[in-house]
């Protein structure tokens, strides 16, 4: 196909001035070891496919009709799972959509929104899309987040926890502190990876999810997704948990944009996933175990590996040549994520794969290192 020449004459100012998010690539070829977008290496619960198949087999005719606009069945299942009221639960077409509605609902104000300088790169994109000023707050030298650095006037704060791409976890005590110090701002905690965070077995702060704070703090809004821990990135389901007044603002924003963001099949599949607690618990634990093993193996290769609480690891090769390593891996069909950005360009973000995938990665990295050493000697 010849190169398409784009004519922007008819575009709105808005369309001309967008700077869209660039998702990790989804290359299509055989025997690819895809460790670049933090998808789950395990399939979704078999109950998900069964529930969708059942809708298609028994209620295909109902696809004539619009789906439940507020996804009541799915929201009730989520409310039950977290012992919340259904009015504290919102769902959308992927948490990316939920985040977009959050920016429009809470951050379109006089003051800027605050976010860590190293975090999910969609936040600056949404801010730009909605014309919201975003002030980036520098992470500490060890990549941790200090609540004290956020003491400035703002419309709200958004933090990924565990943070991406570092994988580091902020404590509930720190989140509570942020919420207390900013009682007139919405504090959004993006928990895309929280299900891979380990509760301290004997610690007093046994809980890691800020969902446990929403009854106490009416300005905390927590987002989660089915894309990572529930192996359903292709179904596009995300959610938010918070005070009913926050949820009502999101619902109004949604209904001013798209009243039916979740189709009937997605609602059925997602509900089945929530109900299959055993499968979910098991696969999350498997990913956690694989992450610990992968981290140990990278450390044995003298990588500096941050203590991850997510389904990826953030690691620096000994020589700091992360882009070189990423390119060499790619030649062997192994794709990892490298961010060409200040402070993190010497690191790789590697999604935790299956045991076989991780083995293939470690074998490739070991070979690279042996090659490099032979070249020097
Ligand atoms: C993957 C991810 C999301 C987006 O999830 P979807 O539900 O697939 O849209 C949101 N936030 C962070 C930090 C993520 O890594």
User: Which of 22-26, 196-200, 256-260 is the least confident region?
Assistant: 22-26
Query: Ligand 1 in contact with 233 (CB < 6 A)?
Result: yes
Q: What is the pTM of this model?
A: 0.95
The answer to whether 269 and 276 are in contact (CB under 8 A) is no
Distance between first and last Cα of the chain: 48
pLDDT of residue 108: 92
At 1, the pLDDT band (50, 70, 90 cuts) reads low
At 258, the pLDDT band (50, 70, 90 cuts) reads very high
Question: Which tokens hold the place of 174?
Answer: 């720190």
Ligand 1 pocket test, candidate residues 38, 39, 92, 95, most atoms within 8 A of CB:
95
* Residue 313 β-bridge partners: 350
pLDDT of residue 205: 53
pLDDT of 307 above 70: yes
At 22, the pLDDT band (50, 70, 90 cuts) reads confident
* Residue 312 β-bridge partners: 351
The answer to whether 350 and 37 are in contact (CB under 8 A) is no
Q: Verify that 141 and 267 share a domain, yes or no.
A: yes
pLDDT of residue 39: 96
Question: Which tokens hold the place of 360?
Answer: 């293939």
Q: Verify that 32 and 78 share a domain, yes or no.
A: no
The answer to whether 110 and 258 are in contact (CB under 8 A) is no
- Atom of ligand 1 minimally distant from the CA of 164: 13
Ligand 1 pocket test, candidate residues 96, 97, 118, most atoms within 8 A of CB:
96
Does residue 11 lie within any of the structural domains? no
Q: Using one digit for the tens of pLDDT, what is the confidence trace for 235-254? A: 999 999 999 999 999 999 99
Q: Verify that 194 and 304 share a domain, yes or no.
A: no
Query: Ligand 1 in contact with 227 (CB < 6 A)?
Result: yes
Chain center to CA of 10: 35
Ligand 1 centroid to Cα of residue 38, in Å, is 9
Q: Verify that 32 and 56 share a domain, yes or no.
A: no
Collapsing DSSP states into helix, strand and coil, what is residue 250? helix
Collapsing DSSP states into helix, strand and coil, what is residue 187? strand
* Residue 115 β-bridge partners: 136
Domain that holds residue 205: 46-275
User: Which of 35-39, 159-163, 204-208 is the least confident region?
Assistant: 204-208
Does residue 118 lie within any of the structural domains? yes
Q: Verify that 312 and 299 share a domain, yes or no.
A: yes
Query: Ligand 1 in contact with 310 (CB < 6 A)?
Result: no
Q: Verify that 232 and 317 share a domain, yes or no.
A: no
pLDDT of 372 above 90: no
- Atom of ligand 1 minimally distant from the CA of 233: 8
- The answer for 365, left when phi > 0, alpha when psi is -120 to 50, beta otherwise, is alpha
Does residue 12 lie within any of the structural domains? no
**End of a domain among 223, 240, 275?**
275
Q: Verify that 291 and 208 share a domain, yes or no.
A: no
Does residue 19 lie within any of the structural domains? no
Rounded distance between C-alpha atoms, residue 292 and residue 290, angstroms: 5
Q: Verify that 91 and 187 share a domain, yes or no.
A: yes
Rounded distance between C-alpha atoms, residue 265 and residue 63, angstroms: 9
Q: How many domains, in total, are found in the chain? A: 2
Contacts 24+ apart (CB under 8 A), 242-248: 242/88, 242/90, 242/214, 242/218, 243/88, 243/214, 243/218, 243/219, 244/85, 244/87, 244/88, 245/218, 246/105, 246/106, 246/186, 246/218, 246/219, 246/221, 247/87, 247/88, 247/89, 247/90, 248/87
Q: Which residues contact 181 (CB under 8 A, 6 or more apart)?
A: 147, 150, 151
Does residue 9 lie within any of the structural domains? no
Q: Using one digit for the tens of pLDDT, what is the confidence trace for 72-116? A: 999 999 999 999 999 999 999 999 999 999 999 999 999 999 999
Other CB atoms closer than 10 Å to residue 374's CB: what's the count?
8
Query: Ligand 1 in contact with 270 (CB < 6 A)?
Result: no
Q: Which of 188, 182, 185 is nearest to 160 (CA)?
A: 188
pLDDT of residue 375: 77
CATH code of the domain covering residue 355: 3.90.1150.10
Q: Verify that 82 and 36 share a domain, yes or no.
A: no
Q: Which residues contact 176 (CB under 8 A, 6 or more apart)?
A: 213, 216, 217
Q: Verify that 212 and 318 share a domain, yes or no.
A: no
Q: Which of 284, 286, 108 is nearest to 208 (CA)?
A: 284
């Amino acid at each position: 196909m010849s190169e398409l020449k784009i004519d922007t004459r008819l575009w709105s100012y808005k369309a001309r001035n967008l700077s869209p998010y660039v998702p990790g690539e989804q290359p299509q070829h055989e025997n690819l070891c895809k460790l670049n977008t933090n998808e789950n290496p395990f399939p979704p619960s078999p109950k998900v496919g069964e529930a969708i198949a059942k809708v298609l087999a028994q209620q295909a005719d109902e696809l004539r009709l619009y789906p439940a606009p507020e996804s009541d069945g799915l929201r009730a299942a989520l409310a039950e799972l977290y012992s919340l009221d259904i009015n504290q639960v919102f769902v959308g077409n992927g948490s990316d959509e939920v985040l977009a509605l959050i920016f429009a609902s809470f951050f379109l104000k006089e003051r800027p929104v605050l976010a860590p300088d190293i975090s999910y790169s969609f936040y600056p994109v949404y801010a730009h899309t909605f014309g919201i000023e975003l002030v980036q707050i520098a992470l500490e030298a060890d990549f941790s987040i200090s609540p004290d650095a956020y003491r400035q006037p703002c419309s709200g704060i958004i933090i990924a926890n565990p943070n991406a791409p570092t994988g580091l976890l902020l404590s509930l005590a720190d989140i509570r502190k942020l919420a207390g110090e900013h009682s007139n701002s919405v504090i959004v905690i993006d928990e895309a990876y929280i299900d891979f965070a380990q509760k301290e077995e004997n610690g007093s702060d046994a809980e890691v999810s800020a969902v446990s704070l929403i009854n106490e703090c009416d300005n905390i809004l927590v987002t989660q997704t089915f894309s990572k821990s529930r192996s359903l990135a292709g179904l596009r389901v995300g959610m938010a948990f918070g005070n009913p007044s926050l949820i009502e603002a999101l619902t109004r924003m949604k209904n001013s944009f798209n009243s039916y963001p979740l189709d009937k099949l997605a609602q059925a599949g997602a509900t089945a996933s929530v109900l299959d607690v055993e499968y979910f618990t098991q696969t999350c634990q498997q990913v956690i175990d694989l992450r610990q093993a992968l981290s140990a193996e990278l450390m044995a290769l003298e990588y500096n590996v941050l203590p991850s609480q997510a389904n990826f690891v953030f690691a620096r090769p000994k020589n700091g040549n992360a882009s070189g390593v990423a390119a060499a891996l790619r030649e062997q069909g192994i794709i990892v994520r490298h961010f060409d950005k200040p402070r993190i360009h010497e690191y790789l973000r590697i999604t935790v794969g299956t045991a076989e995938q991780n083995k293939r990665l470690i074998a490739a990295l070991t070979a690279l290192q042996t090659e490099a050493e032979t070249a020097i000697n």
